[in-house]
Amino acid sequence: MTTNDSTTILNTKLRDSNSKIIFDEPILCAQFLRDYIEDIPLLKNVRPEDIVDVSEQYVHLFSEERNSDRVKKVHIKNGTPFFLVSLIEHKTKVEYNVTMQIFRYMIYIWEAYEREEEKQKKGISKQKGFRYPPILPIVYYEGRQEWTVPLDFKSRIIEGDTFAKYVPDFRYYLVPLRKYSDRELLDREDEISLIMLINKLQEMNDISSFRSLPKEQLDAILKDTPDHIVDIIADMLLAFLLKSNVSANEAEKVVGKVKEKNMGQLFADMEPIDIQAEQAKIRIQKKEIDTERQEIQTQRQEIQTERQEIQTQRQEIQTERQEIQTERQEIQTERQEIQTERQEIQTQQQEIQIERQKLDAQKRELELMRQEILAEKEALITIRNQ
Say what the pLDDT of residue 183 is.
86
- With beta carbons less than 8 A apart as the criterion, state whether 302 and 294 touch: no
- What is d(CA 8, CA 246) in angstroms, rounded to the nearest whole number? 6
Edge-to-edge strand list for the sheet holding 173-176: 51-53, 70-74, 84-91, 135-141, 173-176
**Residue 145 to residues 92, 94, 177, 178, Cα–Cα distance (Å):** 9, 7, 11, 9
pLDDT number for residue 270: 61
Closest listed residue to residue 25, CA positions, set 230, 217, 220:
230
| CA 168 – CA 153 distance, rounded (Å) | 7
> Residue type for 294, please?
Q
Sign of torsion over alpha carbons 88, 49, 134, 71:
positive
Instruction: State pLDDT tens for residues 134-175.
Output: 888 888 887 778 888 899 999 999 998 999 999 998 999 988
224-251 confidence digits (pLDDT tens): 888 888 888 888 888 878 777 777 888 8
| Cα 219 from Cα 196, distance rounded (Å) | 16
User: 293 — phi, psi (to 5°)?
Assistant: -65, -40
* The amino acid at 102: I
Nearest-angstrom CA–CA distance, 320 and 326:
10
User: What pLDDT score was predicted for residue 124?
Assistant: 93
Residues of the chain predicted below pLDDT 70? 1-19, 61-68, 77-92, 202-205, 268-280
